[in-house]
Structure 1
């Protein structure tokens, strides 16, 4: 998890818990995009023969379903891979260092769209759309959440956003590991591994949403963005 203290909030009034959640998500999926790019580059200076590709070619595949599907507008595996790694780095840098900026959410979305277009992966789409939606609240008052979360509930939830974010991050990282290596202790059947992978991804998504709700409670209680 990206430490809240490492996030630069010197410019503007921001909801810092939400900012940290979005930054953490961006870093994780920036790394995911880089991993796609790495395996794409390993396939060498060869044609992709289409827009939808397997980021991990047969020569480097570590389990039956470990092909990591991706989309690319670049008809070459090596160039696609290099582009995905470079954009992945840009996503990490922007997420970790610049989410306090006024137009951070727009650039955040633009970078992830670019990452998708250059082979950064397909499965991450739902997460970066959710992350972008969350990023829209970094500089906005949380009036709706103030209404729907009673004071007692806010005080309880405000203490949980970091644990929820840590759990979400761990499960998403476990999913990325399974997608590449297919390693699940005690499980060898590829279909069962796929089921575990989908399950861990779902748990990661659930805890991400819980982290966001708790982050809203935290930012309200700590005097985040207000109408004034």
Structure 2
């Protein structure tokens, strides 16, 4: 768990510094700049990242004392398509319970839920970090999470009757952990994607959030 936290902190730092800064200077006097890819570069990069992935979901959160925690959900798969769509399959609905109102009956039902649902995202842009000498430092893609919603239903049995409660999970473009973003290590085929949660709405009651959900996996 300690190593995982170190990885998440480092990844969040890289995301923030890589996107928030327009340039920085290395020891050789080379400037590192971030720019949007050209159409040709986008087509090539999309071909590289398109495909099926298998891995895990790591969701981070702070308790009431601002202490950081991270939980892991394994055996999650997703696919990146040529049309820039990302479909995450069989995402456990129970993983969102920590972002809901503590002690609420619906929260408890979500925590114990065994249902799964699919989540669909879109690649909003593709960028490259490049030194002034032409050397490419890294490539990454931005995820369109703003105003996006992930919906599922939680079923509770009340007095012998199953009652359905709608849950809406909302994503944002940025938060305390950085940006909704992803990157693929083409040499090792390892991928990491970070989503920023902005809130969870349950039965017309909305809880604000600003947490990170990481998808970490490998291309099949």
Question: Which band: TM-score by shorter chain?
Answer: under 0.3
Q: TM (normalized to structure 1)?
A: 0.21
Question: Could you say which structure has the greater relative contact order, defined with CA pairs below 8 angstroms and 6 or more residues apart?
Answer: 1
Q: TM (normalized to structure 2)?
A: 0.22
More strand by share: 2
